[in-house]
Amino acid sequence: MSEILNVVLSDQPAPAQWGKSKISFSGEGACIHLSEGEPARIIQSAARKLTGQGIRDVALSGEGWTRALQWRFACGFGEALEPGTIAWASDAESLDAQRDAALWLKSLTHASPEALSPEVLADEVAERISAAAPEHVTTRRIVGDALLAAGWIGVHAVGRGSERPPVLLELDYNPTGDANAPVSVALVGKGITFDSGGYSIKPSAGMVTMKCDMGGAATVSAALKLAIKQGLNKRVKLYLCCAENLISGHAYKLGDILHYKNGTSVEIVNTDAEGRLVLADGLMAANEAGAERIIDAATLTGAAMTAVGSDYNALFTPCDSAATDALAAAAAVDEGLWRLPLAPLHADKCPSVFADTANSTTQKGGGAGGASNAAGFLSRFAGTPPKGWIHIDLAGAYVGGNGLNHEGATALGMLTVAKLLQDA
């Protein structure tokens, strides 16, 4: 007898003896009942319940399994260290590619901070994406004090407190055969491999999950890998801003002034608002490349999660057409994305007497509107690319476990970014 559980769908309620359950079992396997409620959420919740019963190998069988519903089952199935196996009802090749990218994203995010130093993160991404298209990928790493010589003072400042040096990875995917081809999209990812908060130190409970603070880097890297697998034929540059935010005699401090290469001076009033400092370098690098569109992703603010919860990521852009594109991409792949305010006034929400701006405010979480204020800070460095700048604050990137997701990385946002790459 096969140990793989067959899972089918039904638009009828469960038999009376199963009460209000959305899952029933028979000798043939399990049936998910979609008679009431939102099918996608019912299916994802059912996948969690099957996982909770110790089931690790399933086959999705019968009618009704659209590509989108199969993916929602995959989002709820398995555990962080035991993803299990899924035999798809259809679209196996494309769904395998999506799951492979998502599981890679999760493996990066779940890696211990001791194992995943900034250099290891940069090397792993360079190796995996290069392997996906070896003839079309070139990479360059700027490490440690070489960042200062190159003018990338944000990544250097945040990472200099660690014995393991910070890194800016530049990866160029160019399938056109033209060395002078325009850069269609530049991706920028926050790669803080561990965030203690620096001298604005986090409490222990808030620090225990901070291996996930490179979730932005994992998201854009996995999205690019997936898009390449899907046949991406446009030139894309990827910038990962990788550092450990630790405390030492070398660490950056409150009151320091950083002078960025675009002329902006920044007073440090909170060393735990480090993500925006490294992203500033990545955004400027993307503009130097002449990218037609810039997309950054980051586990940037707790305020974003307060605003939209873990079922959505937060979208910020000053460009209405870019917002339309991003929301349409998210809808097409059934991912939650919600636009929050970003106006010119938000660039001035972190005032400083001693510099052009501070990196945050002294209030916890950056004060009221903290996610918009962080985006406003980034707007000072994002430039005005022709097709707009899109900032995604990954509110739903990492959860404590719930009825829809296992504890840890969710991969929410990966499909949206991959779709934006394909549509660029």
Catalytic residues: 202, 276
**Residue with structure tokens 């090397």?**
123
SS (H, E, C) 15-78: CHHHCCCCEEEECCEEEEECCCCCHHHHHHHHHHHHHHCCCCEEEECCCCCCHHHHHHHHHHCC
User: Other C-beta atoms within 10 Å of 363: how many?
Assistant: 10
The H or E element that residue 140 is part of is strand 137-143
Rounded distance, CA 255 to CA 215, Å? Answer: 28
Helix (H) / strand (E) element for 149: namely helix 146-150
Cross-strand bridge partners of residue 7: 30, 60
> What would the two tokens of residue 292 be?
């037609």
Asked if 72 contacts 40 with a C-beta cutoff of 8 angstroms, the reply is yes
Residue 91 in contact with residue 70, Cβ under 8 Å? yes
Q: SS3 for 249-287, per residue?
A: CCCCCCCCEEECCCCCEEECCCCCCCHHHHHHHHHHHHH
Beta strand residue intervals within 317-354, DSSP E: 337-339
**Strand order from edge to edge, sheet including 23-26:** 23-26, 29-33, 5-10, 57-60, 85-87
> Tokens standing for 24?
């029933």
Distances 186 to 9, 236, 237, 287, 294 between C-alpha atoms, Å: 41, 6, 5, 8, 5
